[in-house]
Structure 1
């Protein structure tokens, strides 16, 4: 971006001096270069012949130097304000995009959640063919219960990370680790048109991966969905209602329901971690949360 203009200042003998400048910024408004053009006196009515020219030139240079310092200082302040996230104090902080490992993981998750693949599409359609008229929260309960009860857990050899896509997990007869389960159920939730995200929970000795589904940013609506889920689960799956209400409220006031496969129902007990790295598929971003808040009304 190229910005051209002029500025005026007074020299030591009260003359008005106009100077041309050209400012170069990148597309993120970061300072690149500042060039100065010609200067001219536009008000010579107060010329004092008794003042030596050398003093005039020195004063003019000092004024110009001060202006450059002000420009640079202003750009620094602007960059700081522009790059400071507008977040609530408890909001999980954005992990910088320079963190290549997390960015690579996000891109890999998006590739693995391949809802456009015919295998993934047909699998989802087979899950909801008899419940197409049910509300989304009931479909989520059906899908989670089916996947959790049919899942064949298999840890990856040599502790290598899994890279199977949802379609490949389906073709492997629902076999895989916790990360594979999270990828598959996230693909099913995304196929419904609902918002989902993948959470990598970390503690001192291990890591656990699970998915969450977005409920609402309205407390009454979120709790209404949870109550609907509780009633359905206790009626159809004979599950104690105290065990199916675990959800998370993040720093943005959004309500998220746990879809971990450690339980046969959505809303099971959360994995207790020290930090969580959260990958939001819909928003194409990732966060680190160090303050975990679990709720079970």
Structure 2
């Protein structure tokens, strides 16, 4: 059985108009072509759908039974095609994106606002999560895009650089290190350090760069590990230590009266990238959102 949309559409149109000639005009086809399509459908169904007389065309009982089913099928298929065309034209859709809590709070809202002004029928859902969770959600397909740092040689993920963060130190205003004219990484060796947990891409990047430059800090032994940046900032404000973070937190830290300093030798940076699952195609809406972010930030 090889029933086609053309056959169903021809049958429904003939049944509604009562004549092959009128149906042919509406479908933009010839009367013989429409008649052939109806006969093919009858053959496929092994049913007689019309009683044909010289001047009279009447639905059989089988035809009356089949008509609402065929009409619904035609409407559903045409609706699916229309929806697909709307998605392609970006009139509607949904994009999901995961980002670390700082980027989700301080970087993305204005960008999302600008995008939704241009494309009001596209909904953007943000997942504010820990940096490590960003990678996990992109890899398992929970979100379309992520914002963060892709580990080197990751087999599942690919990143497109959006911007660059610089590693810095967040200090309480009363911390003695604030008075130093120049701060070095080695000056932190005896401090109570606060920073991201093991396995966090930011922590991994920091440790790799310090090791590459021969700088030894007792991160594994003495650093208080915290999952979320806001908690780290709060601990510094409470006088519990010195935080190693990135420049993404500068606005938040300074608004709370804290001091940010960038250590010398070396300046350590990390790429903040739009992250996709390798080999996964984005929806038209997600592609447009990705392109908008790249154009807006670069």
TM-score normalised by structure 1 residue count? 0.27
Q: Identify, as 1 or 2, the structure richer in helix.
A: 2
Higher relative contact order (CA 8 A, sep 6+): 2
Q: Identify, as 1 or 2, the structure richer in strand.
A: 1
